[in-house]
Chain A
Amino acid sequence: MIKLVALIPLFPLLGFIINGFFGKKISKGLSGAIASIAVLASFVVALLIFFELEHSVQKSIPVDLFSWINSDTLKIPFEFLVDPLSSWFLLIITGIGFLIHIYSIGYMHDDEGFARFFTYLNLFVFFMLLLVLGNNYLIMFVGWEGVGLCSYLLIGFWFKNTAYNNAAKKAFIMNRIGDLGFLLGIILIFVTYGSISYDEVFSGVSGSGGTGTITAIALLLFIGAMGKSAQLPLYTWLPDAMAGPTPVSALIHAATMVTAGIYMVVRSNVFYSISAEASHVVAVVGVATALFAATIGLFQNDIKKVLAYSTVSQLGLMFLGLGVGAYSSSVFHVTTHAFFKALLFLGAGSVIHAMGGEQDMRKMGGLKKALPITFATMLIGTIAISGIPPFSGFFSKDEILAHTYEHSPTLWFFGQVASMLTAFYMFRLLYLTFYRNFRGTHEQEHHLHESPKSMTIPLIVLAILSVLGGVLGFPEFWGLPNWMHHHLDPIILHKNPSTMNHEQEWILMAIAVVAAAATIYFAYMIYIKNKVLPEAKDENLKGIKKLIYNKYYVDEVYDALIRKPVDLLGTVFYKFMDLQVVDGIVNGVGNAVNGISSVVRKAQTGHIGLYIFCMVLGIILMLFYSFIK
């Protein structure tokens, strides 16, 4: 079965081709079914391969498909790699992807671009699978660019809206900055090790000790991860990416694509294990992003924006985990985050669907009765992300924070604060959306309805996963098996075993739970007891709230620091170089020809006698010249 791994990306590719060419001719039901079945088929194959690998002795199985690039010293086979990391990501991508495809059938059923939506979605799944399956950095890069393209297409899915198109362009350009770093990293790897295949590179790294080069490679790769996984300072595209349809936000901008950066760092863990400097940078950027984005999330009023900043913040936590060497914990958090964040986004989509497109939480409230299933599942998701045991988020977050404490208590403190803020803004979202009285129009209130089954079933499945996801990684000091840690053990080349004693771990865990519970109570006091509502008008905000509500004016700062100077440079070049210099040369040549010819044409008198005279004179001069020579 493992030899048939190529089937996994093949199914979504087929779905993409069918929907792309015939989507307009077939019915909506059929086109949605084809796309979903394609992903389901991939999921089944991925599941079979996963279990086969579990029972296999050999944990890293390359599957050579064909020779791709073969030029002198550059030999790149098109080769897939089945190992614990890729097989786990395959399950996340196809599993969550399938649920979101089902959900999209319900969510998008009124949209005229239905088939186009599924075409893009299948293409995205194809590229994402390519990204995790490749056995060298180039295939990863192809997938990396491909998911970026699909992200662009899906953010700008409603392309008649200029703001959405701008958001799509912003995402694409921000990602390009990161991609450049990634590409340079790959080139440096090739130059240093003469190969970009994982096994050859990693054995080369373990052998040689050129720390400077390794740090450079690690940092360049991390720049790529910063772009794709929305870390400081390249995170600003992700909140704007919420312009896309909600299932896209769930699949691409929460569960899968944005975790590609995590996958890449885990895949390249050798570099980070050797280079302490690079790891430190990863950890600091991660914790800074976690804290920064969490504070912005506190005062956002758009339900999807809150979730977007929450995603940025959670990704920051994952990078914190990577930076302190807790690779398997980060993959664990990727998994649980995929469960509960996809659930939260889909729940938010269900709310938006019921509200007839309204995303502002100030106009919601009291939806608990109208949307019981959505409410119940979102409550589970919110508890899970806040880190309350025994829900899945608690286990993964705690593992990362415990490793962080071991590495540096300062980083642990900031990570802990960020996760407290998470609990606060998530419960704020829940209270504002589902509790108290309805604040929208009568029309909306009349329209409120629970979503169709195709939307609620994925919610329920994801809710179950969010509750039970924790079993994948019980804390080791509980005496229970940490399956995730064990599973990923073969791909972590430099082990980093925990040396903390059990008392410390218990204390940290207790602090985390008490802090989360206290924060939730605090949010309850504010939004339920004291019935505080967010300021209705944006202009009335003052001081720090205004600063945070406007996202610390980061977009404006980037605008002033980068866009405006570039614009100015463009204007200068246009006004001076183009209009003055280049046009001047072109027009000058024309004018010079005109001027010279207007002088020369006077010689054309039209008097035949003169012409003959000149001719004779010429002959005489030539004779004279030949005589004196």
Chain B
Amino acid sequence: MLNGIPINYYIMLSAVLFIIGVVGVMARRNAIIIFMCIELMLNAVNLLLVAFSTLHQDASGQVFVFFVMAVAAAEVAVGLAILAMVYRNLKSIDIDLLSRLKN
């Protein structure tokens, strides 16, 4: 029990957020939206980590979350830089246009 809310609820919420993220990555073609969906998945995991950390009265789970956030920030910075270059070259951020490796 965390603040009167059972742990199952946290798990459910995380799972839902994660699945929304996955479906978003798979279904959308806009690169920025895909990025946001990836962030959503990461945050779903973060939520779960924090919930269990509190449940077990162990701070190391929260330390993990900080690491995840830091790596995610770095990843977004690099990813957005790549997207900026893609846009300059293709005038679009549709990921289906990036299929030159096929041949």
Contacts and interface: CB of A to CB of B under 8 A. Distances in A.
Contacts of B25: 612
A616 B101 contact: no
B65 to A, nearest CB: 22
B7 to A, nearest CB: 20
Interface residues of B, number: 13
A609 B28 CA distance: 8
A616 B27 CA distance: 12
Given A604-B101, A604-B102, A609 B22 contact: no
B26 A612 contact: yes
Given A616-B22, A616-B26, A609 B102 contact: no
A609 B95 contact: yes
A7 B96 CA distance: 92
A609 B26 contact: yes
A608 B102 contact: no
Interface in A210-238: none
A77 B20 CA distance: 91
Contacts of B103: 606
B22 A607 contact: no
B100 interface: yes
Contacts of B22: 616
A58 interface: no
Contacts of A616: 22, 26
Interface in B58-103: 95-96, 98-103
B99 A613 contact: no
A71 interface: no
Interface string A65-103: 000000000000000000000000000000000000000
A427 to B, nearest CB: 93
Interface in A576-629: 604-609, 612-613, 616
Interface residues of A, number: 9
Contacts of A607: 96, 99
A466 B100 CA distance: 97
A334 B22 CA distance: 103
A606 B95 CA distance: 10
B102 A606 contact: yes
Interface string A285-306: 0000000000000000000000
The interface centre, meaning the residue of A607, A608, A613 with most chain B CB atoms within 10 A of its CB, is A608
B95 A605 contact: no
Contact of B96 (A604, A608, A613): A608
B90 to A, nearest CB: 14
A606 B100 contact: yes
Contact of A605 (B27, B98, B99, B100): B99
B37 to A, nearest CB: 10
Interface string B39-74: 000000000000000000000000000000000000
A167 to B, nearest CB: 65
Contacts of B99: 605-608
Contacts of B102: 604-606
A613 B103 CA distance: 21
Nearest to B102: A606
Given A613-B26, A616-B22, A616-B26, A608 B100 contact: no
Interface string B16-43: 0000001001110100000000000000
Nearest to A609: B26
A567 B22 CA distance: 73
A546 B25 CA distance: 99
Contacts of A608: 95-96, 98-99
B11 to A, nearest CB: 15
Nearest to B28: A609
The interface centre, meaning the residue of B26, B29, B98, B99 with most chain A CB atoms within 10 A of its CB, is B26
A610 to B, nearest CB: 9
B17 to A, nearest CB: 15
A54 B95 CA distance: 108
Contact of B101 (A606, A609, A613): A606
B29 A609 contact: yes
Contacts of A605: 99, 102
A214 to B, nearest CB: 81
Q: Which 10 A-B pairs have the closest CB atoms?
A: A606-B102, A606-B99, A608-B95, A606-B101, A613-B26, A612-B26, A612-B25, A616-B22, A605-B102, A609-B26
7 contacts: A604-B101, A605-B99, A606-B99, A608-B99, A609-B27, A609-B95, A616-B22
Interface of B: 22, 25-27, 29, 95-96, 98-103
Interface of A: 604-609, 612-613, 616
